[in-house]
């Protein structure tokens, strides 16, 4: 009985000073953590220079850039993490700081800058194709009229900076100098009747490959 009582008194001493017992403590050194800085590799797209044709005029005002060419004029505002190094006939998109956001923006804004230079000098185009019986397209003034099997024709207003051409009533070509507007308008056309996977009917991009599905098989006798 005495042994168990003595043991309980010693055990309670570790919870604090009780019964006149002092528990000695041993100082423990603090554990240190070393943080290694990981440097991200420079974007392979972002570090490529952009050649500026002689018929393109570039104007820089702070973080805003305007590009003017024979086909039109475009403007773009850059974030503070990105800077433009302009030489005689070459543009280089560089990082102003070494941060994660700067690494994410580097390749993106280099591509946007290149699209602006190419767009105002050469232009872009996107081709679509109508597949289906009775599907056809025509251009009347500033409207693109689509017959896609609905009870009424689909009328789409063509933006001022785009040109739409229809060949053989089934092939549509959207062209212009702003690549983002071209892609958006082409995607809106395709959205009216996306191609279905069984017979491929619908509106598809000219270079699009439709993955086909096998239809339901009949009952075996």
- What average pLDDT does the chain have? 84
| pLDDT at residue 215, rounded to an integer | 76
| pLDDT at residue 213, rounded to an integer | 87
| pLDDT at residue 41, rounded to an integer | 67
Distance CA 147, CA 134 (A): 7
Distance CA 146, CA 28 (A): 79
Which of 44 and 34 is assigned the larger pLDDT? Answer: 44
Which CATH number covers residue 70?
3.90.930.12
Which of 99, 122, 145 finishes a domain?
122
| Number of domains comprising the chain | 2
Distance CA 203, CA 149 (A): 12
Domain-embedded: residue 13: no
Whether the per-residue pLDDT at 167 is higher than 50: the answer is: yes
Give pLDDT tens digits for 115-128: 999 999 999 999 99
| pLDDT at residue 7, rounded to an integer | 46
Residue for token pair 């973080």 = 63
Which of 104, 122, 140 finishes a domain?
122
The parent domain of residue 99 ranges over: 50-122
Q: What 8-state DSSP symbol labels residue 4?
A: H
Mean pLDDT throughout 200-219? 84
Strands 64-68 and 73-77: antiparallel
Which of 93, 122, 151 finishes a domain?
122
pLDDT-derived band of residue 105, with 50, 70 and 90 as boundaries? very high
| pLDDT at residue 82, rounded to an integer | 93
pTM for the whole structure = 0.75
As given in the structure block, the two tokens for residue 40 are 């991200």
Sequence-distant (≥ 6) Cβ neighbours of residue 56 within 8 angstroms: 67, 68, 69, 117, 120, 121
């Amino acid at each position: 009985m005495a042994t168990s009582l003595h043991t309980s008194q010693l055990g309670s001493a570790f919870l604090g000073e009780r019964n006149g017992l002092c528990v000695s403590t041993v100082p423990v050194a603090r554990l240190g953590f070393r943080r290694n800085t990981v440097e991200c590799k420079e974007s392979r797209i972002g570090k490529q220079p952009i050649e500026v044709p002689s018929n393109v005029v570039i104007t820089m005002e702070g973080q805003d850039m305007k590009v003017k060419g024979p086909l039109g004029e475009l403007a773009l505002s850059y974030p503070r993490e990105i800077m433009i190094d302009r030489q005689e006939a070459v543009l280089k998109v560089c990082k102003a700081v070494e941060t994660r956001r700067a690494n994410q923006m580097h390749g993106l804004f280099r591509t946007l800058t290149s699209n602006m230079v190419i767009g105002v000098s050469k232009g872009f185009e996107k081709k679509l194709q109508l597949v289906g019986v009775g599907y056809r397209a025509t251009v009347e003034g500033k409207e693109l009229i689509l017959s896609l099997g609905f009870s009424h024709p689909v009328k789409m207003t063509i933006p001022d900076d785009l040109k739409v051409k229809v060949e053989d009533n089934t092939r549509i070509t959207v062209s212009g100098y702003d690549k983002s507007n071209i892609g958006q308008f082409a995607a809106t056309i395709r959205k009216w009747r996306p191609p279905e996977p069984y017979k491929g009917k619908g509106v598809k991009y000219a270079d699009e490959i439709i993955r086909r599905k096998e239809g339901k098989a009949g009952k075996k006798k």
